[in-house]
């Protein structure tokens, strides 16, 4: 799947602006960004729910604008608020969904059976959906996205509202599905993205500000997190460090300043600023960035 310079506007507001990326088979990719950054619009354009105002979305060999039926057959979409009919059973709901995809007879029966198995729903396949827990209802939504055996799964907040046990089971399911197809998921939970994804796309103000594997983003990507213990008032030191080249943020704590910034020599520049300002440098520790650190550095307001 390829996004090629995709732009989508709503009136005078540009939700996503010339966004480009490629999703490769057999990878789980996390889509991150603050509220209003363009994540939901990106997911809806990916799924074919919205058409781009400029650029192209290509799934396999099909352009989603000029050949939408062929493109959508390759995509399974789980919206944030999946709402399967509560009066149906998972089996009957999936049979209905498969029929909408044009599956008939034995092919439909086999597709339903496979989706139930992949989503771990065999034990509740003939219970009414209204009687199922939220975790199982979320699995029904995933099974619906899988029933036509798509090459690409688009998952919008797939664990939203689940309890910790349900979150763990759903993550295991997504990881298993990602071995055989392309998965892109949007989540506000950075821990979830760290657990499931090797690669992340970060969108801010409608543009891609990072497209990287997590190891590079948090390691050799240039970002640094420093803990600076000082003898002087940390709030005074934090204000002084905000002016140091490469410092993105400096936050005062009780006896130290947490500095986030860029550059291999950031620690040297911060140490020079502290000693030059006669603030009493007690200790300076350089830590590897977490995904949260990198995210905050890239979308700093």
DSSP readout, 131-199?
GS-HHHHHHHHHHHHHTT--SEEEEESTTTT--HHHHHHHHHHHHHHTTTSEEEEE-S-HHHHHHH-SE
Res 223: pLDDT:
67
| Radius of gyration of the chain from its Cα atoms, rounded to whole angstroms | 23
Place of tokens 């989508």: 8
Question: Is 211 strand, coil or helix?
Answer: strand
Residue 221 pLDDT greater than 60, yes or no: no
Mean pLDDT of the chain: 90
Determine the Cα–Cα distance for residues 172 and 142; give it in Å rounded to an integer. 13
| Domain residue extents for the chain | 2-218, 223-298
Residues 59-94 pLDDT 10s = 988 999 899 999 999 999 988 776 778 889 999 999
Q: Return the percentage of the chain with pLDDT > 90, whole number.
A: 61
Determine contact, residues 97/147, Cβ cutoff 8 Å: yes
Residues 253-279 pLDDT 10s = 998 999 988 887 889 999 999 999 999
CATH of 223-298, one of 3.30.70.100, 3.30.465.10, 3.40.50.2300, 3.10.20.30: 3.30.70.100
Tell me the CB-side half-sphere exposure of residue 171, using CA atoms within 13 A: 18
Residues 8-42 pLDDT 10s = 999 999 999 999 999 988 899 999 999 889 998 99
Q: Look up residue 92 and give its two tokens.
A: 């009957």
What pTM did the predictor assign?
0.76
| Superfamily grouping for domain 2-218 | P-loop containing nucleotide triphosphate hydrolases (3.40.50.300)
Phi-psi region of 46 (alpha: psi -120 to 50; beta: other; left: phi over 0): alpha
Q: How far is residue 204 from each of residues 67, 266, 297, measured CA to CA in Å?
A: 30, 25, 12
């Amino acid at each position: 799947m390829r996004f090629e310079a995709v732009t989508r506007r709503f009136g005078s507001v540009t939700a996503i602006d010339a966004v480009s990326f490629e999703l490769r088979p057999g990878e789980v990719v996390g889509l991150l960004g603050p509220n209003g950054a363009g994540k939901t619009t990106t997911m809806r354009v990916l799924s074919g729910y919205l058409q781009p105002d400029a650029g192209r979305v290509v799934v396999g060999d099909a352009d989603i604008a000029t050949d939408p039926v062929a493109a959508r057959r390759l995509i399974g979409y789980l919206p944030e608020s999946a709402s399967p009919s509560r009066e149906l059973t998972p089996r009957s709901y999936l049979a209905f969904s498969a029929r909408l995809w044009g599956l008939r007879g034995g092919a439909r029966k086999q597709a339903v059976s496979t989706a139930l198995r992949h989503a771990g729903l065999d034990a509740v396949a003939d219970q009414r959906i209204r009687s199922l827990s939220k975790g199982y209802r979320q699995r029904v939504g995933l099974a619906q996205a899988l029933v036509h055996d798509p090459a690409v799964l688009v998952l919008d907040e797939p664990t939203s509202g689940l309890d910790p046990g349900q979150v763990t089971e759903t993550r295991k399911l997504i990881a298993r599905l990602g071995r055989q197809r392309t998965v892109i998921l949007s989540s506000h939970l950075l821990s979830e993205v760290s657990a499931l994804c090797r690669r992340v796309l970060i969108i801010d103000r409608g543009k891609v500000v990072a497209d990287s594997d997590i190891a590079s983003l948090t390691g050799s990507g240039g970002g640094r997190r420093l803990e600076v213990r000082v003898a002087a008032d940390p709030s005074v030191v934090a204000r002084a460090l905000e002016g140091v080249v490469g410092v993105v943020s400096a936050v005062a704590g009780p006896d130290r300043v947490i500095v986030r910034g860029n550059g291999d020599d950031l620690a040297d520049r911060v140490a020079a600023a502290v000693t030059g300002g006669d603030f009493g440098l007690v200790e300076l520790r350089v830590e590897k960035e977490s995904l949260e650190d990198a995210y905050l550095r890239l979308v700093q307001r």
